Amino acid sequence: MSHTLTEKILARASGHESVSPGDIVDVSVNTAFIHDVFISGVVEEFSKLPHKKVWHPDNIVLIADHEVPAVSEWAGECYKTMLRFAEAQNIKRIHIAEGVCHQLIPEKGYVGPGMVIVGTDSHTTTHGALGAFSTGIGTTEMAAVLATGKIWLKVPETIHFELSGALSKGVYAKDIVLSMLGILGAEGATYKAIEITGSAVKDLTMADRLTICNMGVEMGAKNALFAPDATTMAYIKDSGASASDMTHVDSSPSYAQTIQMNLSEIKPMLAFPKGVDDIHPVEEAIGTEIHEAFIGSCTNGRYEDFVVAANIIRGKKIPEHVRLIITPASMHIYKRLIADGLALDFINAGAMITNPGCGLCYGKHGGVLSKTDVAIASNNRNFPGRLGHKDSQVYLASPSTVAWSAVHGKISAPDKV
């Protein structure tokens, strides 16, 4: 019997020969990570358990990324809680103000093919880009994982996206995943896995795959993943991650749904301010005046994204009525932007570069929007109040579309030349 990638990973991790959708399995976790805004809740829940020590400190990662530098007294206390817990539990994998958790986990080699990853952030689906089962969980669940190294899960059905063709100039991975959202909607994959295969996958970089899997949760997905291939192997060789379980795609697995996507038919896309699944071609909003443009987040704050944006912005000036905010997803990326001169390109154009972290995407600092602001952003969510005032309007787009819009002071389609 053929199985999906998710079924194969969960079968191995639960010690079963095979599993099927709907099965409840007790799964061993490879990596568990907690971020700053959840650390206090997790530590409190863990203290209620009879376990005095975590199951394995080397499998746990603590990351402060949402409110760095501290934006409140509470945030400052979260840092202290994280440091105290790390010391008490002998946890060495702790990163404060080094970047977004979903960039640091792959960058530091904490995820590899076939692993099971859980994190206290919904966008933990990101790490399926490396062929892992990766999903977000809450504080009580995480406390139990810290104590036992296991979590029970219901095996999800799988929605299959089969990609063919090639992207046109000016079209990027963000446009692919926005198109997927246009097909499934914000609830179309609720508690389902999303598996991406097809002839076009070989041309997608790891940055592309991370972007796509990141927004799987915006469709309601439990997890999203690509099968590991040569691109995966090259990435984990650099990161130092384990490649002990190269899970491959079976022939004709039993998918709940298969959706064919020809990438050559995809245009630059936007999520309109009504929500992540209010998807339209950029051309339908051309000319809309903007006040802020944001390139960053765990969706599109990678080096490759800034290369695209810098190539557009270099030598130009951002209009005075526009605030362009650049937020690298990690300190490593920030250093590359400085070393390669891209940071200066942005600064010379009039952009502001913030410290690595979640920044504006979290909606509490890094460019919070006022009531009348209209913004175009490369992050993953735009529901009312996400980036500031509930009446502000946020369009989601690729870094290319954001950069072109920033240059013109209004929503603009990427130049295809």
**CATH number of 392's domain:** 3.30.499.10
What pLDDT is stored for residue 246 in this prediction?
Answer: 67
> 130 is written with which tokens?
């490396």
Same structural domain, 119 and 156 = yes
Residue 245 in any domain: the answer is no
Residue at 228 is within a domain: yes
pTM score, two decimals? 0.96
Residues 54 and 200 in one domain: yes
- Among 197, 230, 262, identify where a domain stops: 262
Q: In terms of domains, do 183 and 285 share one? A: no
Closest CA to 403 of 387, 414, 392, 417: 414
Give the count of domains, the chain. 2
Cα–Cα distance for residue pair 53/330, rounded to 1 Å = 30
When the pLDDT of each residue in the chain is averaged and rounded to a whole number, the result is 95
Give strand pairing partners of 31: 117
Q: What is the mean pLDDT of residues 243-270?
A: 87
Residues 329 and 201 in one domain: no
Examine residue 416 and state whether it is found in any structural domain, yes or no.
no
Q: Is the pLDDT of residue 245 over 90?
A: no
Give the confidence band of 10 by pLDDT, cuts at 50, 70, 90. very high
Give me 184's structure tokens.
């499934």
Asked if pLDDT for residue 291 goes beyond 60, the answer is yes
Position 109 pLDDT exceeds 60: yes
Span 379-394, pLDDT tens digits = 999 999 999 999 999 9
Taking 50 as the threshold, does the pLDDT of residue 54 lie above it? yes
pLDDT at 247 exceeding the cut of 80: no
Query: Is it the case that residue 34 has pLDDT exceeding 50?
Result: yes
Same domain, yes or no, for 235 and 299?
Answer: no
At position 147, the amino acid (one-letter code) is A
**Whether residue 146 is found in the same domain as residue 232:** yes
Q: Evaluate whether residue 226 is within a structural domain.
A: yes
Q: Mark whether 286 and 209 lie in a shared domain.
A: no
CB 73 within 8 A of CB 67: no
196 lies in the same domain as 298 = no
One domain for residues 101 and 192: yes
Q: In angstroms, rounded to a whole number, what is the distance separating the alpha carbons of residues 12 and 7?
A: 9
**Sequence-ordered strand ranges (E) for 241-317:** 257-262, 269-271, 279-281, 292-296
Residue 27 near residue 57, CB atoms below 8 Å: no
Q: Quickly tell me which residue has 């490593």 as its tokens.
A: 332
pLDDT value at 156 more than 70: yes
The mean pLDDT of 157-161, rounded to a whole number, is 98
Q: Helix 342-349 to helix 331-339 angle, to the nearest 10 degrees?
A: 80
276 is a domain residue: yes
Confidence of residue 25 (pLDDT cuts 50, 70, 90): very high
Q: Is the pLDDT of residue 417 over 60?
A: no
Residues 6+ apart with CB under 8 A from 237: none
Candidate from 6-10, 58-62, 104-108, 382-386 with smallest mean pLDDT: 382-386
CA distances from 407 to 216, 313, 403, 414 (A): 30, 7, 6, 11
**Residue 413 is assigned to a structural domain of this protein:** no
Query: Per-residue pLDDT tens for 115-133?
Result: 999 999 999 999 999 999 9
Per the rule left: phi > 0, alpha: psi between -120 and 50, beta: everything else, 388 is: left
What single-letter DSSP state applies at residue 153? E
258 and 308 assigned to the same domain:
no
What secondary structure letter does DSSP report for 289? Answer: B
* Average confidence (pLDDT) over 323-347: 98
pLDDT digits (tens, 9 = 90+) for 130-155: 999 999 999 999 999 999 999 999 99
Rounded distance between C-alpha atoms, residue 75 and residue 156, angstroms? 35
Domain that holds residue 118: 5-240+251-262
Q: Is residue 165 domain-shared with residue 66, that is, in the same domain?
A: yes
Q: Which stretch of DSSP H or E encloses residue 217? A: none
In a domain, 415, yes or no: no
Q: Which of 262, 294, 325 lies at the terminal end of a domain, its last residue?
A: 262
For residue 373, tell me if it sits in a domain.
yes
Specify whether the backbone of 275 is left (phi greater than 0), alpha (psi in -120 to 50) or beta. left
326: β partners: 295, 353
Whether the predicted pLDDT of 163 surpasses 60: yes
Do 311 and 172 lie in one domain? The reply is no
Examine the fold and report which residue of 230, 262, 294 is the final residue of a domain before the chain moves on: 262
**Average pLDDT for 253-259:** 94
Flag whether pLDDT at 243 surpasses 80. no
pLDDT at residue 106 tops 50: yes
Mean of the pLDDT values across residues 46-75? 95
